[in-house]
Chain A
């Protein structure tokens, strides 16, 4: 709908001899209406809303897959620590015998059979992943029934305790004997030197107390320390200082000896 007032410049343009009839409507295209007399140079560049024009403007859309999803299917046998489901966020919650990992992955805490289930009595909307202890069990377990638990321990008979010598006392696993040199002292108590114990995981090793007594077995004699012998102490410290000096010289042998820095004089 064109109002008569809007068309007024068109009418004026039609009357004017300067404008050909085919360009009459151009006067409407220019807001000031005087375009016909002095055609302005058109702006060739326009700035629109800012938008990055280079690179991947909206972030990478197609990165490497994170290998999320179910690692164990329903009914599959798992052992403690097995990861059952990897996810971002909490699409699944840990149910019976399961726990969240630090990235919300769900792992088993008992060995058993994986179950994917809902427990409306616990939470109306959540879906859970659980581990049933028996293959025939269904999850969730009945609400007020006693928990099904597994002991996870075996009973073993204790080894008979080593026989105690006369006069030897053991206080809370700490063996305390007579004074050093007596027959019941710790050092005098016979131990099997050749026993090897299994160390961490794989290697056989001597027990620490065994290693500590190697010198004793090899009959290594150590000069006895005499407290208060200042003469010996002085000789020792002199020897040490000399040794250190030698070592320093050797260390600095390759380097150019720097000039000793001029000391700043203090005061006037």
Chain B
């Protein structure tokens, strides 16, 4: 990549930030961060100036790198500041030579690099010499003050209503409805108080947002709905997941699928050698609090040549998996290993262990849908009961109904016969099926009849 002039370079860096290095499934998620679980406003953000970028990581990295004796050609790369590298090449070199990741977003680093090149001082927001900007900030701050006041009154109102006798407020049901709507309004206010804060926006874009705070969850949800969820909806419809596996589906959690380090876009074909081991899920919820979920993997296209029809097969069930906005990773292989180690059935999470997806030679592709199902009231399910579920002819609808589950997320991959399928089948006790090949059924043409005969 040829170095560009600073101004244009920074502009292009901004562009790159907006779209990210988007695969067609959307950019990889970067808005998660886990800190102490606190449910509160972003209070300090607008009042205190941003801390100046510290140079400690650089020094630390240099100290660590020095004894290792860097080769000559690496020394020629010059000084690489993790706070200011902006070219992809330089980022790569930084990771390779220093072994540290660049800090923050590329947009941020580009600005820092430009400022340091121009010897500009780091001026905090409050002292920026733009009058219009400062006036606008005043308006925003005043608005925020108003919102904070509204929040206080709304909280007292809710407390008052809680203390009220149900008979006065028109019955239990009516009181509950009112409480719910008031709580919803309070939640809206909490988001609105922070949504105009430039620092919140910056933090979110840099991927440093704390997902335990409502504003970052809100922003992440909006971002998800703008592109990734639309793609997901389209795939659900086009691959007919909705009438085939479930009667209806309204995804509210973002699910990313990866086998090892390979991210799989929704509906992609996965090589059978890769899918021999269970995948890793990344489930981002945008609602407050912890949830217990069940993960089910179903093959929706299992051929039954005797009946000339198709059926379903269950490849994996694991239950009682905790997820939260800041606790997103579900590594199925790790869960499976843990379940194998534990003797007690009730402490296990895996009910049906991973059986690698397979397809006959010549058969149409198989859709393997991965459902994340929320358990009712975050109550644990009985694993020993789920262990009795049959794999072949598994009906997801009835399973969801029986266990009172609510589908919150879904993803999909496909599989078909490939070079490594034979080995996969032999390793998993399907030697007999290797020799079976599927061929199109010949359809007998209708016998020719004269028109008068047909009319009879």
Contact = CB atoms under 8 A, between A and B. Distances in A.
Interface in A141-185: 143-147, 149-158, 172
A149 B310 contact: yes
Nearest to A80: B443
Interface residues of A, number: 22
A147 B305 contact: no
Interface in A71-103: 77-80, 82
B52 interface: no
B437 interface: yes
Given A150-B309, A156-B436, A157-B436, A111 B304 contact: no
A153 B243 contact: no
A172 B308 contact: no
A150 B305 CA distance: 10
A149 B243 CA distance: 12
Interface centre among A79, A143, A156, A157 (most CB of B within 10 A): A156
A237 B438 CA distance: 57
Contact of A153 (B242, B244, B362, B446): B362
A7 B362 CA distance: 102
B445 A154 contact: no
A111 B244 CA distance: 21
A152 B446 contact: no
Contacts of B362: 153
A79 B445 contact: yes
Contacts of B308: 150-152
A157 B435 contact: yes
A80 to B, nearest CB: 6
B438 A146 contact: no
A108 B444 CA distance: 14
B34 interface: no
B309 A154 contact: no
A155 B419 contact: no
Interface centre among A150, A155, A156, A158 (most CB of B within 10 A): A155
B50 to A, nearest CB: 52
B166 to A, nearest CB: 38
A151 B310 contact: yes
B156 interface: no
A163 to B, nearest CB: 16
A32 B439 CA distance: 97
Given A79-B443, A79-B445, A147-B243, A153 B435 contact: no
B23 interface: no
Contacts of B419: 172
A225 to B, nearest CB: 40
Contacts of A152: 308, 440-441
The interface size bin for chain B is 20 to 34
B305 A151 contact: yes
Interface in B111-146: none
Contacts of A111: 443
B27 interface: no
Given A144-B247, A146-B243, A147-B240, A153 B441 contact: yes
Contacts of A172: 419
Interface string A218-258: 00000000000000000000000000000000000000000
A78 B444 CA distance: 11
B360 interface: yes
A82 B446 contact: yes
A152 B445 CA distance: 15
B356 interface: no
B364 interface: yes
Nearest to A77: B446
Interface in B397-444: 419, 435-441, 443-444
Contacts of B440: 152-154
A174 to B, nearest CB: 13
Contacts of A155: 303, 305, 360, 436-438
Interface in B200-231: none
A153 B310 contact: no
Contacts of A151: 303-305, 308-310, 441
B248 interface: yes
B363 interface: yes
A82 B448 CA distance: 13
Contact of B363 (A77, A143, A153, A157): A153
Given A147-B244, A150-B308, A156-B436, 12 more contacts: A79-B446, A111-B443, A144-B242, A145-B247, A146-B245, A151-B310, A153-B439, A154-B438, A155-B436, A156-B439, A157-B437, A158-B435
Contacts of B310: 149, 151
> 10 nearest interchain CB pairs?
A144-B247, A155-B305, A153-B438, A158-B435, A155-B436, A146-B244, A151-B303, A151-B308, A154-B441, A79-B443
Contacts of B436: 155-158
A97 to B, nearest CB: 13
A32 to B, nearest CB: 75
A172 B420 CA distance: 11
B396 to A, nearest CB: 10
